[in-house]
């Protein structure tokens, strides 16, 4: 039977560690702070930001939710980012995406002080990550490494195949796996004979944003499958393609009118050695790693000895 890699349990353990670090920092007179900027009223974004603010409260971090009007201009947002960069009580700046079309999201992300870039999206942090230097790594890729390490899944010497090349997940998780001494192949929608490549993977990371894109025929038996995708199925045809005969999912579909599936066809999990479920897997690590990054940013800014992970190299700093 394949192992289910429990994202909830791993996220809970990381949050507990973060809470302990926060208590220690408060004892030194430092309370890590996160500023979350939410523009507009997209329900999904509102839920994500609310969950992040709630996590701050649970773990003892300071949080400041800033909600500019949907008509805010790029110049006004740049001014806001400049204010947050200058605030000493703010260690991390989170700009919730997507932004309204008239706002230049790239300019805003580039304007964030790299020392406060807890999403790990600034070019400076991307460069540090590539160079193997201490960096604030993107939360989801860092969470994937935590899942593997805490589940005692071997990485060094293994062939890791990453399907997806985004700046948010695909590229940084490939770099983090490389720093863990995996042999890494990056694939994407234009890769020829994709199934031939994915069948070589000891660790297969799917982050391409297509429901059930990785089929059982594309998976090597016994491989570890890391499913980053979150795709909503809302039609009976889509549901039956992946979950026909699944009584539990059927009940959820009947109640809500939709269910979630990842980028890996659930039937592929049956031949794996271990896998992250959707939901209940990688997604739960994102907020936990955001909290960890905020604490790390607070320590790095104040030159406090960092006992947390150097996510660029995946090792604990003495």
CATH assignment of the domain containing 271: 3.40.50.720
Residues 163, 96 within the same domain: no
Q: What is the pLDDT of residue 42?
A: 86
Residues 194, 278 within the same domain: yes
Residues 184, 111 within the same domain: no
**Residues contacting 317, CB < 8 A, separation 6+:** 134, 305, 306, 307, 308, 309, 310
> For this structure, is 52 an active site residue?
yes
Number of domains in the chain: 2
63: enclosing H helix or E strand: strand 62-66
Confidence of residue 307 (pLDDT cuts 50, 70, 90): low
- For the entire predicted model, the pTM comes to 0.92
Q: Rounded to whole angstroms, how far apart are CA atoms 33 and 93?
A: 9
Give CA separation, 244 vs 132, 189, 248, in Å.
45, 27, 10
Joined together, the tokens standing for residue 52 give 């992040």
For residue 131, how many other CB atoms are within 10 A of its CB?
11
Residue 279: asked if its preceding bond is cis (omega within 30°), the reply is yes
Q: What is the pLDDT of residue 315?
A: 46
> Which is it for strands 259-261 and 231-233: parallel, antiparallel or unpaired?
antiparallel
Q: Indicate if the pLDDT at residue 235 is higher than 50.
A: yes
Residues 92, 159 within the same domain: no
Given 91, 119, 202, 227, which residue is catalytic? Answer: 119
Q: What is the pLDDT of residue 8?
A: 96
Confidence of residue 308 (pLDDT cuts 50, 70, 90): very low
Confidence of residue 204 (pLDDT cuts 50, 70, 90): very high
Q: Indicate if the pLDDT at residue 309 is higher than 50.
A: no
Q: Rounded to whole angstroms, how far apart are CA atoms 112 and 115?
A: 8
Of the given ranges (34-38, 41-45, 191-195), which has the lowest mean pLDDT? 41-45
Confidence of residue 211 (pLDDT cuts 50, 70, 90): very high
Residue 78: domain span = 31-118
Q: Is the sign of the CA dihedral 34, 37, 41, 44 positive or negative?
A: negative
Joined together, the tokens standing for residue 77 give 């947002």
Percent over 70 (pLDDT), the chain: 96
Within-domain flag for 241 = no
Q: What is the mean pLDDT of residues 123-137?
A: 93
Q: Indicate if the pLDDT at residue 277 is higher than 70.
A: yes
Residues 220, 102 within the same domain: no
| Among candidate residues 118, 150, 178, the one where a domain is terminated | 118
Given 96, 220, 265, 299, which residue is catalytic? Answer: 96
Give CA separation, 137 vs 26, 32, 128, 311, in Å.
24, 18, 9, 6
- Cβ(93)–Cβ(37) below 8 Å: yes
Give the domain CATH number at 61: 3.40.50.10860
Q: What are phi and psi of 316, to 5 degrees?
A: -80, 135
Within-domain flag for 50 = yes
- Cβ(112)–Cβ(92) below 8 Å: no
> For this structure, is 299 an active site residue?
no
Q: What is the pLDDT of residue 318?
A: 35
Percent over 90 (pLDDT), the chain: 91
């Amino acid at each position: 039977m394949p192992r289910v890699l429990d994202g909830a349990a791993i996220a809970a353990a990381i949050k507990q560690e973060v809470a302990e670090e926060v208590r220690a920092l408060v004892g030194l007179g430092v309370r890590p702070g996160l500023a979350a900027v939410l523009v507009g009223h997209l329900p999904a974004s509102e839920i994500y930001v609310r969950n992040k603010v709630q996590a701050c409260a649970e773990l003892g971090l300071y949080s400041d939710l800033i909600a500019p009007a949907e008509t805010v201009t790029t110049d006004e947002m740049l001014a806001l980012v400049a204010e947050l960069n200058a605030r000493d009580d703010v260690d991390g700046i989170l700009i919730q995406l997507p932004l309204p079309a008239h706002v230049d999201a790239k300019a805003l992300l580039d304007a964030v002080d790299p020392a406060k870039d807890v999403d790990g999206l600034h070019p400076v942090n991307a460069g540090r990550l590539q160079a193997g230097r201490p960096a604030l790594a993107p939360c989801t890729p860092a969470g994937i490494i935590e899942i593997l390490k805490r589940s005692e899944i071997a990485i060094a010497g293994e062939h890791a195949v990453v399907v997806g090349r985004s700046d948010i997940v695909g590229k940084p998780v490939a770099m983090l796996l490389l720093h863990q001494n995996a042999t890494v192949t990056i694939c994407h929608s234009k890769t020829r004979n994709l199934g031939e490549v994915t069948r070589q993977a000891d660790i297969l990371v799917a982050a391409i944003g297509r429901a059930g894109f990785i089929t059982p025929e594309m998976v090597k038996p016994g491989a570890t499958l890391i499913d980053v995708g979150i795709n909503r199925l809302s039609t009976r045809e889509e549901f039956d393609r992946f979950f026909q005969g699944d009584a539990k999912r059927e009940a959820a579909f009947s109640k809500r009118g939709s269910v979630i599936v990842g980028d890996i066809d659930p039937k592929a999990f049956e031949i794996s050695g271990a896998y992250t479920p959707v939901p209940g897997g990688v997604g739960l690590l994102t907020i936990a790693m955001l909290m960890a990054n905020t604490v790390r940013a607070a320590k790095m800014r104040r030159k406090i000895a960092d006992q947390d992970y150097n996510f660029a190299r995946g090792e604990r700093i003495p």
